[in-house]
Amino acid sequence: MRGQSIARSVGRRRFLLGTAAFAAALGLGRGASAAPSARRLREPPDRLLSFKHLHTGETLDVVYWSEGRYQPGALADVDVILRDFRTDEIIAIDRDLLDLLHAVRRRLGTEQPFHVVSGYRSPETNAMLAAAGRGVAPNSLHMYGMAIDVRLPGIRLAQLRRAAWNLQRGGVGYYSRSNFVHLDTGRVRFW
């Protein structure tokens, strides 16, 4: 996928910048600018996310934010993996949700992929799940690309819940019997 090629090019860029900085520190290449520009040093770091969709088996490692902006190709790849897997309907996933996932992973100090139980849900899928009595809200934020149900390998659900709750960026639902944590970018609440 495009996200994987983006990740490779970012890795190459980091290597080249690191080599240039090392050469500058040794005093090599004087006269030529070996250090990264001051502008580049002020840019926010890249934001990487990894997903494994538990229903489709698809995986994605993607740098969705780089060089101070969201990367459209990477966002499109995220939209595809988080689509309604029952209908294959795709919508744009809320960028704040991606930033929340990134912040949770950083807080937990892990690079493990999020195991996705549910991302986007079409209104038809959401209504079907609600009618089946699965505890699904009739106006779920999943229908707007603003919610995701996940777990992280090697991280206890309680840790994942606590990390998300401490960020205070939206709703956090804890479903220990179903083995996932719900995260959304709606109002701050906890259940």
Q: Are the C-beta atoms of residues 85 and 144 closer than 8 Å to each other?
A: no
* pLDDT of amino acid 173: 97
Residue pointed to by tokens 């999020």 = 114
Q: In whole angstroms, what is the distance from residue 103 CA to residue 27 CA?
A: 37
127-161 per-position pLDDT tens digit? 999 999 878 998 999 999 999 999 999 999 999 99
Cα angle, residue 135 at apex, residues 57 and 140 outer, rounded to 5°: 75
pLDDT at res. 180: 97
pLDDT digits 0-9 by tens, 38-64: 444 554 589 999 999 999 999 999 999
Instruction: Give yes or no for residue 9 having a pLDDT over 50.
Output: no
Query: Is residue 32 pLDDT above 60, yes or no?
Result: no
Per-domain residue ranges of the chain: 45-190
Task: Provide the pLDDT for residue 133.
Answer: 82
Q: Confirm if 163 and 147 have CB atoms less than 8 A apart.
A: no
What whole-number percentage of the chain has pLDDT above 70? 77
Q: Which residues contact 72 (CB under 8 A, 6 or more apart)?
A: none
Q: Which residue has the tokens 């966002």?
A: 75
- Residue 34 tokens read as 């070996």
Q: Is residue 14 pLDDT above 90, yes or no?
A: no
115-119: average pLDDT: 98
**Alpha-carbon distance 70 to 90, whole Å?**
19
CATH architecture of 45-190: 2-Layer Sandwich (3.30)
Asked if 142 and 121 count as a contact pair (C-beta separation under 8 A), the reply is yes
